[in-house]
Structures are given as structure tokens and as C-alpha cells.
Amino acid sequence: MIKNKNILALCTTAFFNDRGCHTRILKILKYMENGNNRIDLVCYSYGRNIEGYRIYRVGKLFKYFDPVGFHFLKIIFDVQIFFKAFRMLREKDYDYILSFTHEAGILALILKFVYKKEYILDYQGSLYSELSTSNFIFKIPPFSFFIILIERLVEKYSYAIIYNTNFNFSKSRKNRRYFVDDEIIFYEKDKEQHYNCSSPKRIVWVGVNTKVQNLSTFLKIAENIVEKKDALFYIITFPLNKKIKERFKRYKDKIIFIEKVPYEELPAYLKKADICVSTKLDSTEGSGKLHLYKKYCKNVLSLDSKISREILDEKQIVRNLEDMEKKILEIME
């Protein structure tokens, strides 16, 4: 572990926001600060500040902007971060650059050759996987080859890589220092939540509303189950589409949508859940959510993937969504 160093952290996102990658960033910051490191974090102009952390934001170009996943306008924000980091490295003697995500790693790679500063890469998943999922153009061979090449270069020239799963670590050709999500303890705020105590079983689903999280299909499962059983589903997600709210309006007392739960309050929801469910399809990145599920909930169900097999027991993994529905009903009996 690096200790007693000045570190410039680059965060190509609207830190802080109460969702997966942001909570991971916060946990890594706490992990690094435990080594008496002084960290200055550069990020987008959007997001909320966290008390006790030195956050430097780039200039605001739009009144509000925080799309989930890739967006072409983020390239402009990344350029802003690069020039801000460039100035800060010129004005202050930092020992290392800490880059969150491959996008920040690209900036760190350039800064490494300019200022001769080593950088640490937080491996949150494949850059190619994220881009190709967001837009088909990135699957076209010339583009895909270029993206994969950049991804490999960012990893190759890094001083160290932080992996959140053994799966990703085993894929690496370099034996870098790493740690797993559940080895970092973060402060949790145990707050009384608004649960309907009359329901015999509470099923909780947590995740960002993106294609890879498979929310729309899971909602069909929830609909089928509440038609048959006395169950209560809590869907903790955002952004929440108005069409989804309208469609499930008649189930408002059985399928409850909750937006923006502060990360420190999430364990309180999980502790009171009878079943916690993950329908995430992607296996290119780790899932801190599964670590939380396993820690706070007795019954955990997840779709089969390399990541879920690493974190969960065999009995907690299902092959497909049809089996997921059957397993939920089985637990409810």
C-alpha cells in the first residue's frame, strides 16, 4: 500500500452520486487516505461534495448534465479535466496520479509522459465493453481495434492497477497489487426505512436503469409474482422512466420504486429484505453490490456470470431469468 504521498486523483464522472461506481471511488479514496496519503480529486462540475475530501471541479458548461453511461459530450468534460490536472501538476509536486476508469487512465498516460509521474489505474471494467454497448459504431473493426489498443496501453504503462475482482486480476498479464471491494469497510448509516410490514416477503433490486442491469425484464418477473403471491418489491434505481412509473401504477402498493438512496443508507434496506436480486448481464467488471447483498441479506439471487461465481455461493446463482422467478417463488414458500 502506498503511504505518505501526495496524489492527484482524476475522476471522469459527476462525483459524488449515489450509485455503484461512485461508491467504489469513495471507498478507494478512504482506503488510500488510511495510508496517510493526501489526495486532491479533479472531477466534473456536477455532483455533490463529500465532507472531508478536497474536490476540484472543472467549469460548468451546462446547467445540469449527468447521463448514465457514455455520452459524446463527456469528451469535452474530459478535456477540461486534462487541462485542470495539467495546471495542478505544474503548480504542485504530486507523487502519483490516481485515475478512476480507463478514460481517466488515458489522461494519466499523457500526463505521465509530460510530467514523468507514475499513475495508478482503478480498473472498473472494460472501456471497449462500455463503448460498444452504448453505440454500435464502436464495434466496427477500425474503431474497436483502436479502443482495445488504447485500453491495453493504459494498463501496460500504469504503475499499479486496482482490481475489484479476482476474475479481472487473473486476466492481467502483470502481477499488480490489487484488492477486492469487500475488503474495504465504509461507514453505513442505519436509518429506519419505510417498509410495509404487512408483507410476508420483501424483495429488493438495486441498480442503475441501464440495459446491462436488465431491469425491464425483472419488472415482468415482479409483475408475475405479485399477481400470484403477497409480495412487496422495492426497486431502488435511477433514472426512472415515466413510462415505467405509469405502466406499474396499478401495483403501486406492491412494486415500489425508490430513487436516489444515499449509499450509506443502502445497508438498512438490505438488512430488512427477505431476498436481494441482481439481474446484471455484464461480466466485464466487478459488482460491489453483490458483496453488500451477501453481507446484509440471507437470500441472494444473481444471474450466472464469472463475477457472481466468484463472489456468491453456487446455490445463490441462477442460469436465466426464468429460473430466477422460480427460485424467488420457491424461497417465498
pLDDT-derived band at 115 (thresholds 50, 70, 90) equals very high
What is the SS3 assignment for 113? helix
What value does the mean pLDDT of the chain take? 82
Name the helix (H) or strand (E) containing 266: helix 266-271
> How far apart, in whole angstroms, are the C-alpha atoms of residue 98 and residue 80?
17
Asked whether the beta carbons of 240 and 247 are under 8 A apart, the reply is: no
- Among residues 289, 292, 282, 300, which one has the least CA distance to residue 211? 282
pLDDT of residue 132: 66
pLDDT in tens, 159-174: 888 876 554 444 444 4
Pick the more confident residue, 317 or 50: 317
Determine which helix (DSSP H) or strand (DSSP E) holds 161, and give its type and residue range: strand 160-163
Q: Say which residues have a Cβ less than 8 Å from residue 292's Cβ, sequence separation at least 6.
A: 266, 267, 270
The pLDDT of residue 148: 83
Best CA proximity match to 10, nearest among 63, 72, 55: 55
pLDDT in tens, 233-289: 999 988 788 888 888 989 988 999 998 787 778 888 999 999 999 998 765 555 678
In this prediction, what percent of the chain has a pLDDT beyond 90? 41
pTM of the model: 0.67
Read off the pLDDT of residues 53-108 as tens digits, 9 standing for 90 and up. 999 999 988 776 665 566 778 889 999 999 999 999 999 999 999 999 888 999 99
Q: Of 147-151, 198-202, 284-288, which has the strongest mean pLDDT? A: 147-151
pLDDT reported for residue 200: 72
Strand partners, 56: 42
Planar angle of CA 64, 281, 301, nearest 5 degrees: 110
Res 134: pLDDT: 60
Section 129-135 average pLDDT? 63
pLDDT of residue 185: 38
Which domains does the chain show, CATH number per domain? 6-183 (3.40.50.2000), 201-332 (3.40.50.2000)
Which DSSP string do the residues of 33-74 spell out, in sequence order?
HTTT-EEEEEE-S-S---TT-EEEEPPP-SSS---SS--TTH
Check pLDDT > 50 for residue 188. no
